[in-house]
């Protein structure tokens, strides 16, 4: 049976930039956030590439990209992402700030997914990032799945393999650098992706033009949503402190270096 794959992905400030949190009149935010370059959330990017790859293997499979973010930043980002994979965009005009509640975000995403015309819940796969460069609560996808009534959920996924009988095998990361292999009887299911196994696809300008024919109207017609939770308050936010203690020592054995690192870790 053809699958419907819905990828949930937001735009985020480029993590390679200096992201400085500060208090604003509207709550916590990032310094000069609107001036920062934005990218598709790196975690969710893996989910999109995996979804596109899976769709190529199954006739009639369709990929939707549900993206929650400010229209202006979403439009800039789609110019690049549209060249990477084939999808239909569902845009939601809302804050993509990391200072929001995952339950509110999941509720808005669930509503958007339920409005997809002709949605076949029996053959639905929800993809997204296991973590996020902005909303790294690690709970958004789980709450989304519960709101959609999907109980089969897999997190930290690196691989999915479809079987001939409609079931699929999932490779999940577990402690100790190992993977857990799970077999699911079939959709619906939620998969939170880690890094997957696929490289970033090369740019395809023709694919980009095809996607943008529908992406631009979707962005322009995007409905707005308020994901603020008045009961949620951030009292203090700061960037992790950077420390660098450097010593240059010659002729130190590997065992001594390792022991010194262990002692340093114990103190910190």
Task: Render pLDDT for 124-134 as a digit per residue (tens, 0 to 9).
Answer: 999 998 887 67
Does residue 255 lie in a domain region? Answer: no
What stretches of the chain adopt beta strand conformation (E)? 4-8, 11-13, 21-24, 27-30, 38-40, 62-69, 88-93, 124-129, 153-162, 168-174, 178-184, 189-193, 223-224
Does residue 239 lie in a domain region? Answer: no
Name the residue range of residue 165's domain.
4-224
Q: What is the pLDDT of residue 32?
A: 67
Percent of the chain residues past pLDDT 90, beyond the cut: 32
Locate tokens 């369709």: which residue?
62
Does residue 253 lie in a domain region? Answer: no
Whether 168 has a pLDDT exceeding 90, the answer reads yes
Does residue 109 lie in a domain region? Answer: yes
Percent helix / strand / coil, the chain, rounded to 5: 30, 25, 40
Does residue 250 lie in a domain region? Answer: no
The pLDDT-based confidence of 49 (bands split at 50, 70, 90) is very high
Reduced to 3 states (helix: H, G, I; strand: E, B; else coil), residue 215 is helix
Distance CA 28, CA 11 (A): 18
Q: What is the pLDDT of residue 198?
A: 85
Check if the beta carbon of residue 86 is closer than 8 Å to that of residue 211: yes
CA angle 106, 231, 101 (to 5 degrees): 25
Contacts of 188 (CB under 8 A, 6+ apart): 121, 122, 123, 124, 125, 126, 148, 150, 152
Does residue 268 lie in a domain region? Answer: no
Alpha helices in the chain (DSSP H): 42-57, 71-81, 102-114, 140-147, 205-220, 254-267
Does residue 249 lie in a domain region? Answer: no
Residue 188 is given by DSSP the state S
| Of 177 and 262, the one with more pLDDT | 262
Q: What CATH number should be reported for the domain holding residue 98?
A: 3.40.50.620
Rounded to the nearest angstrom, the gap between the alpha carbon of residue 252 and the centroid of all alpha carbons in its chain is 43
Q: What is the mean pLDDT of residues 25-54?
A: 80
Does residue 97 lie in a domain region? Answer: yes
The pTM score is: 0.81
Q: What is the pLDDT of residue 93?
A: 87
- Return the closest-CA partner of residue 73 out of 57, 97, 48: 97
Residue 144 is given by DSSP the state H
| φ, ψ (nearest 5 deg) of residue 62 | -125, 140
For the chain, the domain total comes to 1
Q: What is the pLDDT of residue 152?
A: 94
Q: Which two tokens mark 90?
A: 């569902």
């Amino acid at each position: 049976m053809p699958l419907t794959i819905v990828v949930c992905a937001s735009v985020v400030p480029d993590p390679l930039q200096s992201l400085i949190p500060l208090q604003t009149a509207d709550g916590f935010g990032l310094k000069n956030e609107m001036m920062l370059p934005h990218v598709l959330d790196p975690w969710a990017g893996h989910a999109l590439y995996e979804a596109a790859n899976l769709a190529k293997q199954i006739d009639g499979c369709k990929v939707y990209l549900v993206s929650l973010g400010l229209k202006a930043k979403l439009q800039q980002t789609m110019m690049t992402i549209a060249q990477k994979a084939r999808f239909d965009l569902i845009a939601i005009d809302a804050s993509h700030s990391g200072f929001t509640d995952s339950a509110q975000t999941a509720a808005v995403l669930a509503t958007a997914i339920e409005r997809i015309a002709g949605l076949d819940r029996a053959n639905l796969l929800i993809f997204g990032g296991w973590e996020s460069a902005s909303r790294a609560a690690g709970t958004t996808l789980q709450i989304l799945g519960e709101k959609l009534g999907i109980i089969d959920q897999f997190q930290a996924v690196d691989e999915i393999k479809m079987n001939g009988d409609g079931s699929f095998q999932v490779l999940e990361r577990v402690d100790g650098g190992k993977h857990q292999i799970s077999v699911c009887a079939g959709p619906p299911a939620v998969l939170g992706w880690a890094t997957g196994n696929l490289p970033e696809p090369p740019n395809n300008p023709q694919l980009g033009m095809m996607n943008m024919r529908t992406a631009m109207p979707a962005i322009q017609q995007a409905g707005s949503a308020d994901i603020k939770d008045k009961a949620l308050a951030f009292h203090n936010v700061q960037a992790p402190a950077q420390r660098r203690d450097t010593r240059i020592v010659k002729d130190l054995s590997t065992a001594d270096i390792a022991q010194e690192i262990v002692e340093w870790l114990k103190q910190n």
